[in-house]
Amino acid sequence: MARNTTVKADQNAPAITELLAKFVVNHPSRGWDDNVEREAHRTFANWFGCAIGPSQHETVQAALAAVSELSPAPQAAILGRKERVDIANAAMINGISSHTFDFDDTHLKTIIHPAGPVASAVLALGEHIGASGRDMMDALIIGIEVSCRIGNAVYPDHYDRGWHITGSTGMLGSAAACSRLLKLDADRTQMALGIAASQPIGLREQFGTMTKPFHPGGAARAGLMAALMAKHGYTSSKRALEAPRGLLQVFSEKTDWSEVTEKLGETWEIALNTYKPFACGIVIHPSIDGCVQLKNQHNLKPEDVRKVTIKVHSLVLELTGKKTPTDGLQSKFSVYHSCAAGLIFGRAGEHEYSDEIVNRSDVVALRAKVEAIVDDSIDEASSDVTIETTDGRTLHVFIEHAIGSVERPMSDEQLKAKFMDQSAPIIGQEKAEKAYALAMQLASSADLKELLAAATLA
């Protein structure tokens, strides 16, 4: 058995487990400016709609069928449905649902989808303990701060290794948020973060399968249970995040600790959150945006297009390089299909990623005309799009920042339209209107009854 241990370790990492626990417990309620508060409500409302939209999808059905084998107690709501399950599994299922259409929010610095793991846990636990909207909003903002700061510290090395960073940091955000909501003291919150640290969830290899949306759902569940265990005295390492054999050093040899420690409680990652106008991986968005812009500017019809050439960062093809997707889920990982959809339909919502559309002959034909060229001088948030037309024109646009980015954010009206698009077919127009309005004023609600009545089926 004998061999040498050669893995490097940083023995002098700052005590971030303790630091974050104290931050979670001590930061004052509503201790941030109006912009943060506004973006947090947009985050919650966007997540809410994204969880309602796929609630009847086979991914959610399969997860719920498995959970039903446990005969769970009806403690908490599943958005868009009538069934109720225990809080841990409600957190899991709403987390799965919210990422099923790949349409949820994105923290662009890390490609984390921050709401899924945190909001799913906050909603389930908040409903069960009768938390106020204010307490839930505080928990959401603070939880997302924890997971995104951990993400900032390990990105990009951690992601490059193959972790799906949403789930592999999200359990910490969930544990932080649930600890806050349960009003655990700093010691127990530190234990909750430690218990969660042993449960990173998610591999990039799962992209294109149901296990991708499982990652935020599993992270929500793990963090919630970690907080419950800590509440009852379960212990963990006080240095579970930063120790030489703690989570961050196990993840990566390139951790930047200052991303956790600097200006903690002064700057807010949730203020940088963005919402997708297109129902696919964020790295495809600038290419779709370019195709839609050229279509609209030049009134292009599919038959006008001879060739589409996009120049993109290598990561775009690594993540979304499926040339010939055969179903809706695979098509979300195809920049080729996405460009064709943008050119034919002028949009790329959930419908444009359905099995039917993916296999439609005009879509397949146009997809085959899309060529992607790797150019690592182009940022992964950008795309250089050139269309050659059948009548010999060459059209070009460079998209530095896609619609939906921090630099070109969706307006509240666009966000509401997206919410209604997803929710109205499930819960009806009237309830969807109500759910959106209530979600956008969560912090001022005394309880969740009205909101959940609007967002579920009777």
Q: Which of residues 33-62 bind its own copies (CB under 8 A)?
A: 58-59, 61-62
DSSP code of residue 254: -
C-alpha distance from residue 371 to each of 216, 321, 324 (Å): 32, 11, 12
Q: Could you tell me where the DSSP H helices lie in 381-446?
A: 412-427, 429-439
Per CB under 8 A, does 206 bind its own copies?
yes
**Residue 457 DSSP SS3:** coil
Restricting to residues 329-388, which ones interact with its own copies according to CB under 8 A? 376, 378-381
Of 5-13, 30-38, 45-53, 114-122, which segment contacts its own copies by CB under 8 A? 5-13
Q: What is the b/e burial string over 349-366, where b = at least 16 CB atoms within 10 angstroms of the residue's CB?
A: bbebbeeebbeeeebeeb
Per CB under 8 A, does 200 bind its own copies?
yes
Residue placing its CB nearer to its own copies in the complex, 76 or 454: 76
Contacts of 162 (CB under 8 A, 6+ apart): 203, 204, 205
Contacts of 305 (CB under 8 A, 6+ apart): 343, 366, 369, 387, 388, 389, 390
87-100 vs 115-129: helix crossing angle, rounded to 10: 150
Nearest to 458 by CA among 81, 75, 23: 81
Among 131, 148, 165, 247, interactor with its own copies by CB under 8 A: 247
Per CB under 8 A, does 126 bind its own copies?
no
H or E element at residue 139? helix 133-154
Q: Which two three-digit tokens encode residue 168?
A: 């592999």
Contact (CB, 8 A) for 165 and 151: yes
Per CB under 8 A, does 4 bind its own copies?
yes
Name residue 168's amino acid: S
Per CB under 8 A, does 88 bind its own copies?
yes
Among 106, 237, 334, 423, interactor with its own copies by CB under 8 A: 237
Per CB under 8 A, does 70 bind its own copies?
yes
Per CB under 8 A, does 426 bind its own copies?
no
Residue placing its CB nearer to its own copies in the complex, 209 or 390: 209
Number of residues lying near its own copies (CB under 8 A) = 80
Per CB under 8 A, does 407 bind its own copies?
no
Per CB under 8 A, does 124 bind its own copies?
no
User: Shortest Cβ distance from residue 160 to its own copies (Å)?
Assistant: 5
Residue placing its CB nearer to its own copies in the complex, 62 or 446: 62
DSSP 213-226: HHHHHHHHHHHHHH
Per CB under 8 A, does 235 bind its own copies?
yes
Restricting to residues 149-188, which ones interact with its own copies according to CB under 8 A? 156-157, 160-164, 167
Plot region of 247 (φ>0 → left; ψ -120 to 50 → alpha; else → beta): alpha
87-100 vs 34-52: helix crossing angle, rounded to 10: 90
User: Shortest Cβ distance from residue 21 to its own copies (Å)?
Assistant: 15
Residue placing its CB nearer to its own copies in the complex, 228 or 341: 228
User: Shortest Cβ distance from residue 304 to its own copies (Å)?
Assistant: 32
Per CB under 8 A, does 411 bind its own copies?
no
Of 70-78, 287-295, 413-421, 447-455, which segment contacts its own copies by CB under 8 A? 70-78
Restricting to residues 295-324, which ones interact with its own copies according to CB under 8 A? 313-315, 318
Residue placing its CB nearer to its own copies in the complex, 232 or 263: 232
Among 26, 130, 183, 205, interactor with its own copies by CB under 8 A: 205
